[in-house]
Structure 1
Amino acid sequence: MKRRIIEIDEALCDGCGNCIPSCPEQAIQVVDTPEGKKARLVKELYCDGLGACLGACPAGALTVEERESAPYDEEATVARIKEVAPEMLETHLRHIQGHAQGSTGGRAQAELRQWPVQLHLIPPHAPFLKGADLAVVADCVPFACANFHLDFLKGRAIAVGCPKLDDVDAYIDKLAQIIETADLKRIQVIYMEVPCCYGLVYIARKAMAAAGKDVPFETAVIGVKGERQET
């Protein structure tokens, strides 16, 4: 089946193991490889794809991707937790319950996995940018889009700016530096339907041209009432 699951970039992973205690399902282990210690999934069926481990990786080696995988097995996961880390069982149950509440009107979980978020402040060589799926977001979007974290932010890097009030040339230069060095998987520009906001698309296209790299590129338009519009 096709589902969301953790992806570990072994080129970035230094085997520090910080991700292990951050995974309530105990789905990650550190193993010896010819390139040194690396984090790997124990079994795909233990990973729920909810991304609790993402913020724990200082190297930015963890992302969530959607691909073919064995389905998540809650019964097998609980059995593993009881075997290897019984003290984590309560944490796991709270983790699952929290996501269930978020999908039925309860408190949603924040999906931000980096800091800073403002494009002016992001270092072009930041580890969280390496191989990232980058969302370039107009700064009004998160206020208009109620499900912004779930729909656009989960498992991704983000760069926020305003094409009307901020320095456009500085944005083009900074984004071009990121594109040159980060080997991005994709850029998605998410902007409001108001005319001035389309400038963010212009900035991204100019930055790609300046960097001389053709990165997979998408756009998403958010209406002033928060709905996603057809493009």
Structure 2
Amino acid sequence: MNSFDSSIETYLSHIHFGEFVTKSIEVIADLYSFKGLILIPVLLWMWFQPHQRIEWRRQIVLATLASGLLALFVGRLLTHVLPFRVRPIFNTELHLQFATTSASDASLTNWSSFPSDHAMLWMAVATGIFIVWRGIGTLAILYTLLLICLPRAYLGFHYPTDLLVGAAVGVAITVLMTRDAIRVRYAAPLLRWIERRPAPAATLGFILCVELVTQFDELRKVAAGLLKHL
């Protein structure tokens, strides 16, 4: 482990709050309500709020959702392609004692720490919000850093570089996907289809938002169960 990660994780591991605060941090890090259920509704607000450039704004919302999907896919792909990295909480070589009581989560032991798909996905979404609303977008980015990324470092689920690289890739994906030359190729035709077919579009949009909020966790569990029995 590099000195940057080592120094920060060592510092965080020595910060132990009371049981109530620690439990609260664990809840914030675990529940969907404190991640996607905060940021995705902002995209819906942007979609429906009247605006003189409403077509552009809706294209950015579509591009942001596409960026989130792509970020989630890239994040999961990188965890399988790159060398496996043991999470700090399970790395016995570090000799660190983290405050969390969630070390028994077996799914995390087999899931590479690098990069953080949480940071990648939600920084991608926060960046899309920032492109439309500078003020709200700044708050969205700060929220992602402080209430989605930082707790995962504090609890020992990720190294700082896992989160920083994930966040940087998420930002880069959204910046790329929202560029005019790229966005108009897929967002504009999709927006026209949504306007022609509002009923199926709203249905599919609802399902997509739910899956992004939950990061496709239930679908992945179903897929993993099916693969195990094949």
- Higher RCO by CA contacts (8 Å cutoff, separation 6 or greater): 2
The alignment's TM-score, normalised by the length of structure 1, stands at 0.23
Normalized per residue, the structure richer in strand is 1
The alignment's TM-score, normalised by the length of structure 2, stands at 0.24
